[in-house]
Chain A
Amino acid sequence: EVQLVESGGGLVQPGRSLRLSCAASGFTFDDYAMHWVRQAPGKGLEWVSGINWKSDSIGYADSVKGRFTISRDNAKNSLSLEMNSLRPEDTALYYCVKDSTPQLWSIGGMDVWGQGTTVTVSS
């Protein structure tokens, strides 16, 4: 069974840092690009960041560029999101998402979603 399990969320003060992790199983991790997508409470979806299969193509939403860093470890089947200088508007449920292709800009879409980990930024 294809599975994505996020961890690392929690309550953090503005300006502080947090690192999210995603453990992947049930598929060949290094065959696919991966993403982080977030959803603020009661709101819609926002793409945060994506990384291709070999980490040489990376993208970020303007709202997190320069503060967040995505990375992956294909040997450990894991995806990470390092979040610095957190703001209250970063409060959301963060989903780890598998792409259906190895690259960020190929036809197919994001086809498997984890259940998410909640990040709350508040003093």
Chain B
Amino acid sequence: EIVLTQSPGTLSLSPGERATLSCRASDSFSSSYLVWYQQKPGQAPRLLIYAASRRATGIPDRFSGSGSGTDFTLTISRLEPEDFATYYCHQYAYSPRTFGQGTKVEIK
């Protein structure tokens, strides 16, 4: 099973700042199968990024993804108030599909 480790666990930032979230895998896999989700309290997750770097429909361009192999990054260029949430990376290159434990982006 591929274990995804996200860091940091919590990121405290102010609106307008840049957020950089890391997702590290226990084994290398194709970036085609790396996805990022956003989840706000009491809501279902929302697809942000697929194939490591492609924005899903309707996702603002302040969200970007990068990476390959075992190291992947989600960047939010300038935090908007609605971006404070928990973010999960997810791989489905190998079964079973796995998620990272999440990074909470909170208002500083």
Contacts and interface: CB of A to CB of B under 8 A. Distances in A.
Interface of A: 44-47, 50, 59-62, 95, 100, 104-105, 107-111, 113-116
Interface string B12-54: 0000000000000000000011010101000011110011000
Contacts of B33: 105, 107
Interface of B: 1, 32-33, 35, 37, 39, 44-47, 50-51, 56-57, 88, 90, 92, 95-102
A38 B50 CA distance: 20
Given A107-B32, A109-B47, A111-B47, A59 B96 contact: yes
Dominant secondary structure at the A interface: loop
B100 A44 contact: yes
B99 A46 contact: yes
A61 B96 contact: yes
Contacts of A59: 95-97
A114 B44 contact: yes
A26 to B, nearest CB: 14
B88 A116 contact: no
10 contacts: A44-B101, A45-B99, A46-B99, A47-B98, A47-B99, A61-B96, A61-B97, A108-B50, A111-B47, A111-B57
Contacts of B46: 113
Contacts of A46: 99
Instruction: Give me the 5 closest cross-chain CB pairs, A-B, nearest first.
Output: A113-B44, A109-B50, A47-B97, A109-B35, A45-B99
Contact of B88 (A44, A50, A108, A115): A44
Contacts of B39: 45
A50 B51 contact: no
Nearest to A61: B96
Contacts of A61: 96-97
A111 B46 CA distance: 7
A115 B46 CA distance: 11
Contacts of B56: 109, 111
A50 B35 contact: no
